[in-house]
Amino acid sequence: MKNPMNSASKVFSKATGTQSIYRCLTILKTVAKYNESGVRLSQLSREVGLHTATVHRILSILLEEGWVIINPDSKTYHLGFELFALGKAAYQFNLRDVLHGALERIGHKTEDATYLVIQSGYDAICLDRVVGKFPIQVLTFEIGERRPMGIGAGSLTLLSSLSNPQIDTIINSNAKRYEAFHRTVEDVKASVSHCRRVGYGLSVKTVSPDTIGVGLLIENSEGKGIAAISVAGIAKRMGPKRREAIVRLIKAEIAAVDKRYLKSLKL
Domain final residue, candidates 50, 66, 87: 87
pLDDT at 241: 95
Question: Looking at the structure, do residues 97 and 215 belong to the same domain, yes or no?
Answer: yes
Residue 198 pLDDT more than 90? yes
pLDDT at 90: 58
What is the pTM assigned to this prediction?
Answer: 0.67
Question: Looking at the structure, do residues 127 and 215 belong to the same domain, yes or no?
Answer: yes
241 vs 33, which has greater pLDDT? 241
- Average pLDDT of 179-202? 94
The residue type at 151: I
The tens digit of pLDDT for each residue in 146-190 reads: 899 999 999 999 999 999 999 999 999 999 999 999 999 999 999
- DSSP state for residue 176 in the 8-state scheme: H
Question: Looking at the structure, do residues 83 and 111 belong to the same domain, yes or no?
Answer: no
Which range, of 77-86, 93-102, 246-255, averages the lowest pLDDT?
A: 77-86
pLDDT at 260: 55
pLDDT at 150: 95
What is the percent of the chain where pLDDT is above 90? 56
Tell me which residue range forms the domain holding 42: 4-87
Closest CA to 216 of 237, 235, 195: 195
Domain final residue, candidates 87, 102, 124: 87
Does 82 map to a domain?
yes
The tens digit of pLDDT for each residue in 91-127 reads: 555 788 889 999 999 999 999 999 999 998 889 999 9
Q: Helices in the chain by DSSP H: which ranges?
A: 4-13, 18-33, 41-48, 52-65, 81-88, 91-110, 153-160, 164-173, 175-178, 185-198, 240-255, 259-262
Closest CA to 230 of 92, 101, 106: 106
Question: Looking at the structure, do residues 103 and 215 belong to the same domain, yes or no?
Answer: yes
Which range, of 187-191, 253-257, 262-266, averages the lowest pLDDT?
A: 262-266
Residue 78 pLDDT more than 80? yes
pLDDT at 262: 62
The residue type at 45: S
Categorise residue 223: left if φ over 0, alpha if ψ from -120 to 50, beta otherwise: left
Question: Looking at the structure, do residues 201 and 245 belong to the same domain, yes or no?
Answer: yes
Q: How many domains does the chain have?
A: 2
- Average pLDDT of 48-57? 93
Cβ burial of 251 (10 Å; 0-12, 13-18, 19+) is middle
Residue 4 pLDDT more than 50? no
Does 15 map to a domain?
yes
* CATH number of the domain where residue 194 is located: 3.30.450.40
- Give the C-alpha separation, 29 to 25, whole Å: 6
Residue 202 pLDDT more than 90? yes
* CATH number of the domain where residue 14 is located: 1.10.10.10
- Average pLDDT of 8-32? 71
Question: Looking at the structure, do residues 158 and 217 belong to the same domain, yes or no?
Answer: yes
Mean pLDDT of the chain: 85
The residue type at 36: E
- Give the C-alpha separation, 71 to 79, whole Å: 11
Question: Looking at the structure, do residues 211 and 229 belong to the same domain, yes or no?
Answer: yes
Q: Please report which confidence band the pLDDT of residue 80 belongs to, taking 50, 70 and 90 as the band edges.
A: confident
pLDDT at 259: 62
Would you report the helix, strand and coil content of the chain in percent, each value rounded to 5?
50, 20, 30
Question: Looking at the structure, do residues 52 and 182 belong to the same domain, yes or no?
Answer: no
Domain final residue, candidates 27, 52, 87: 87
Closest CA to 79 of 146, 15, 34: 34
Question: Looking at the structure, do residues 123 and 234 belong to the same domain, yes or no?
Answer: yes
SS3 4: helix
Does 267 map to a domain?
no
